[in-house]
Chain A
Amino acid sequence: MPEKVERLRHDYLRHDKKFPHVWCPGCGNGIVLGSLIRAIDALKLEKDELVLASGIGCSGRMPVYVDLNTLHTTHGRALTFATGIKLANPSLTVLTVMGDGDATAIGGNHFIHAARRNLDLTAIIINNQIYGMTGGQYSPTTPYGSRAATAAYGHIEHAFSIAELAVTAGASFVARGTVYHAKLLDKLIAKGISKKGFSVIEIISNCHTQYGRRNKMGDPVTMMQEFKDRAVTVEKAAKLSPEELADRITIGVLTDIDKPNYTEELQKIRDIAEKNR
């Protein structure tokens, strides 16, 4: 196992980028990055053919460490850049990594339309329920009643479920995992990348520095232990009542459907247009 870790580190992390990374000790982002690398490796994808785009925030810093074609875009806009790249060169495998605020607040419009459009992109969304980098302000997934830098008296808004939003908006593949379930994440990310169409993998993660501290949730290990305790698989969840599921995190593949793919549809249009020319 250590040999494999050594090989993955050598093959996929940038040699000329000086570590340490910007993330806090115990942050879940590193686990997501590890899963992403293992998924890419398992799929035997060429690094030259892979694009990793991000937005702004702690998640936004991920691409700089990875030896792929990497793009660190503006806040919430990763999917718009990814759309241009994929359409310009459909042979590229285009992945995006975003945070909860990035993908569903400032980038919410792009997110639902990317899902609706069904372009072959993969969106990895790290949901730590807070704006970490800017100092702990509430995000669209901050739970009702919890504390944030901008919710000193308790949060009065209600949270989005990112995965359910993706399903409703029409994504072809939607899955949810947590940073505790790293091995499951490897598989979910690999499935998402392989899926022809828009794929979303929501990953529940811990921000002990900004969210956990304000809400007295303990250290990273305690927070991850909580993910383990609250997690329930899609299969088990199907047998539980809404009340029983109230505080649970459903993990696994939520949706896997086949829809006409955007790039194939586009080629059909080109063929018609060229004939009528």
Chain B
Amino acid sequence: MTEQSTRQVLQGNEAIVEGALAAGCRFFAGYPITPASEIAELMSLRLPAVGGTFIQMEDEIASMGAVIGASLAGVKSLTATSGPGFSLMQENLGYACVTEVPCVIVSVMRGGPSTGLPTSPAQGDVMQARWGTHGDHPIIVLSVSSVSDCFDITVQAFNFSEKYRVPVIILSDEIVAHTREAVTLPSVQKIEVFERIRPSVPPEWYIPYEDNSRGVPAMAVMGDGYRHHVTGLIHDTKGFPTDRSEEVNAFQRRQFRKITNGFYEILMTKSFMMEDAEIAVIAYGSVSRSAQHAIIAAREKGVKAGLLHLITLFPFPKKDVDPVLRQCRSVLVPEMNMGQISREVKRVNLTSKVVAINRVDGQFITPTEIYNKLLSM
């Protein structure tokens, strides 16, 4: 990140570091895991040079705790992991949800379950990202499909996290993480960075979880004079534990409302050759790159195919999927799992024809595989 835009060859994991630093991230806590370790390694090199803090914790549970602690003290924080470590982070991820502490978690997906296929690509953690922590909770899950995405989406993830006071998960995969591509990193001035809204009232008037039109309370930082209580228990607007059903209900509903309020900007998708498409591919992550190639090839054979590339996975971008299902006679969802997103697509309209390509053998879904399927549809 410099005064001028720069052209660099980076791998996905490195671009995530650049994006995080550009977004103002100054704290990283993590634990080594393939295929995410490069993020921690580069952070350990880069953060101290900008006055930031890198710490390798004793496990992923601790990493997530430290990330939340740092954010409570006012520093934008990141952690990065893969499936097994992501499972360990789920406990404190729920804490970040209930206390509304901004933070960003990168999960570079590899084959699972358990130790699985540590060096192979997969997209098996989609539902873990959405529902991995217990209890009803809102969350934002974004996917990355290229090295330039890794930069842009990471900046976006921090902005959403700060703006909505919600943990944001970036789902990468082993292919995106380790692919090297030439990218143009924008200059500092071109990068839009959002900072959390801090209280403007005097400390004695501050109500830490007071509702407002956005549903996002102003967030005080520890040490700035707004002493208050933060707890994983369901709390009233003052932050104190409550089990009064009307207060519990108000809290839970607001948590969801603050995210629905932001749908216009949170739900991000990209359309490719969709104008006259009769068959659509709905894809995300590295697979969307294969889909794009397959669509170009299929068009040459006269098949009117198009792509809806999902960037936001959760909240599920129903508003963009629905018109595609209405427009096309059938929809293909290729993914490196047994159908975690294709089921979401089906849920949007149960009468539409949704075909899936599912790979769970540690292999990438190639353009040829999608192309052959498109020609047979």
Cβ B58 vs Cβ A85 within 8 A? no
Which residue of chain B has its CB nearest to the CB of A106?
A: B61
Contact residues in A for B238 (Cβ distance below 8 Å): 16
Q: A84-B29, A91-B223 in contact; A70/B62 too (CB < 8 A)?
A: no
Residues of A238-271 at the interface with B, using a CB-CB cut-off of 8 Å, are: 266, 269-270
Inter-chain contacts of A81 with B (CB < 8 A): 65-66, 68-69, 72
A64 within 8 A of B: yes
A185–B45 Cα distance when bound, in Å, is 43
The answer to the question of B107 belonging to the interface, with a C-beta cut-off of 8 Å to chain A, is: no
Name the A residues within 8 Å of B343 (CB-CB): none
State A149–B67 Cα separation when bound (angstroms). Answer: 36
Contact B58 A110 (CB under 8 A): yes
Closest to A17 in B: B240
Contact residues in A for B69 (Cβ distance below 8 Å): 53, 71, 80-88
**1/0 contact trace for B52-93 toward A, CB 8 Å?**
010101110111111111111111010000000000000110
Do the beta carbons of A77 and B70 come within 8 Å of each other? no
CA distance A70 to B67 in the complex (A): 17
Which secondary structure dominates chain A's binding surface?
helix
Q: Closest chain A residue to B222 by CB distance?
A: A69
Q: Is the CB of B229 within 8 A of A84?
A: no
Given A64-B231, A74-B232, A89-B222, the answer on whether A274 and B66 have CB atoms closer than 8 Å is no
1/0 per position for A5-19, CB-CB distance to B under 8 A? 000000000101100
- Interface residue from B27, B63, B65 paired with A73 (Cβ < 8 Å): B65
Question: Which chain B residues lie closer than 8 Å to A277 at the CB level?
Answer: 49
User: Taking the complex as formed, is B48 at the interface, i.e. its CB lies under 8 A from any CB of chain A?
Assistant: yes
Closest to A263 in B: B53
- Point out the residues of chain A lying under 8 angstroms from B72, CB to CB: 71, 81, 84-85, 88
A48 to B67, CA, bound (A): 21
- B353: chain A residues at CB < 8 Å are none
* Residues B73 and A72 in contact, CB atoms below 8 Å apart: no
Asked if A148 is an interface residue, CB under 8 A from chain B, the answer is no
Pair B61/A77 contact, Cβ less than 8 Å:
yes
Complex Cα gap A83–B56 (Å) = 11
Q: Which residues of A contact B58 (CB under 8 A)?
A: 109-110, 113
Measured in the bound complex, the distance between the Cα atoms of B230 and A21 in whole Å is 17
Residues of A within 8 A of B222 (CB): 51, 69, 85, 89, 92
The verdict on A235 contacting chain B, using a C-beta distance below 8 Å, is no
Nearest Cβ distance between residue B356 and chain A, in whole angstroms? 37
Select B66's contact among A69, A72, A80, beta carbons within 8 Å: A80
Q: Is B214 an interface residue (CB 8 A)?
A: no
A213 to B85, CA, bound (A): 41
Chain B 92-116 near chain A by CB (<8 Å), digits 1 or 0:
1001000000000000000000000
A22: min CB distance to chain B, Å: 10
B227 interface residue (CB < 8 Å to A)? yes
Residues of B close to A80: CB separation below 8 A: 57, 61-66, 69, 92
The interface size of chain A toward B, counting residues with CB under 8 Å, comes to 43
Q: What total of chain B residues lie within 8 Å of the partner, measured CB to CB?
A: 44
Q: Is the CB of B225 within 8 A of A87?
A: no
B228 an interface residue at 8 Å Cβ cutoff?
A: yes
Chain A residues contacting B57 (CB-CB under 8 Å) are 80, 83, 113
A53 to B27 Cα, complex, angstroms: 20
CB–CB A88/B75 < 8 A: yes
Chain B residues lying within 8 Å of A113, measured Cβ to Cβ, are: 57-58, 62
> Residues of B contacting A152 with CB < 8 Å?
none
B27 to chain A, nearest CB (A): 6
Neighbouring B residues of A47 by C-beta, 8 Å: 227
Report if B51 contacts A (CB, 8 A): yes
- Output the nearest chain B residue to A119 by Cβ-Cβ distance: B55
Q: Are A274 and B240 in contact (CB under 8 A)?
A: no
Taken together as a complex, chains A and B put the C-alpha atoms of A14 and B228 apart, in Å, by 10
A17–B95 CA distance with the chains assembled, in angstroms: 22
Q: Looking at the assembled complex, report how far the CB atom of A87 sits from the nearest CB atom of chain B, in whole angstroms.
A: 5
Chain A residues within an 8 Å CB radius of B230: 70-72
Q: Please name the residue on chain B nearest to A89 by beta carbon.
A: B73
| 0/1 interface trace, chain A 82-108, chain B, CB 8 Å (1 if under) | 111111110110000000000000000
Given contacts A84-B29, A87-B55, A91-B223, contact A270 B48 (CB under 8 A): yes
Residue numbers in B under 8 Å from A226 (CB-CB): none
CB neighbours of B65 from chain A (8 A): 73-74, 77, 79-81, 83-84, 110
| Residues in B whose Cβ lies below 8 Å from that of A14 | 229
B residues within 8 A CB of A70? 227-230
Chain B's closest residue to A110 (CB) is B62
Give Cα A72 to B91, complex, Å.
Answer: 14
Q: What is the CB-to-nearest-CB distance from B134 to chain A, in angstroms, rounded to a whole number?
A: 11
Across-interface contacts of B64 in A (CB, < 8 A): 80
* Bound: A16/B224 CA distance, A: 20
A186 at the interface (CB under 8 A from B): no
Q: A83-B55, A84-B73, A87-B27 are in contact. Are A64 and B223 (CB under 8 A)?
A: no
* Shortest Cβ distance from residue A106 to the other chain B in the assembled complex, whole angstroms: 9
For B199, the chain A residues whose CB sits under 8 A away are none
What residues of B have a CB within 8 angstroms of the CB of A77 in the complex?
61-62, 65, 91-92
CB pair B223–A87 under 8 Å, yes or no, is no
- How far apart are A27's CB and chain B's nearest CB, in angstroms? 18
Closest to B94 in A: A74
**A276 lies within 8 A of B49 (CB):** yes
Of residues 31 through 57 on chain B, the ones whose CB sits less than 8 Å from some CB of chain A are 45, 48-49, 51, 53, 55, 57
Interface pairs (14), CB distance under 8 Å: A48-B227, A70-B228, A79-B65, A80-B61, A80-B62, A84-B29, A84-B71, A87-B27, A87-B55, A88-B77, A110-B65, A266-B53, A270-B48, A273-B49
User: Known pairs A53-B69, A73-B65. 20 more at Cβ < 8 A?
Assistant: A51-B222, A64-B229, A67-B227, A69-B227, A71-B69, A71-B229, A73-B95, A80-B66, A81-B68, A83-B29, A83-B66, A83-B69, A84-B66, A84-B68, A87-B69, A87-B70, A88-B70, A89-B75, A109-B59, A274-B49
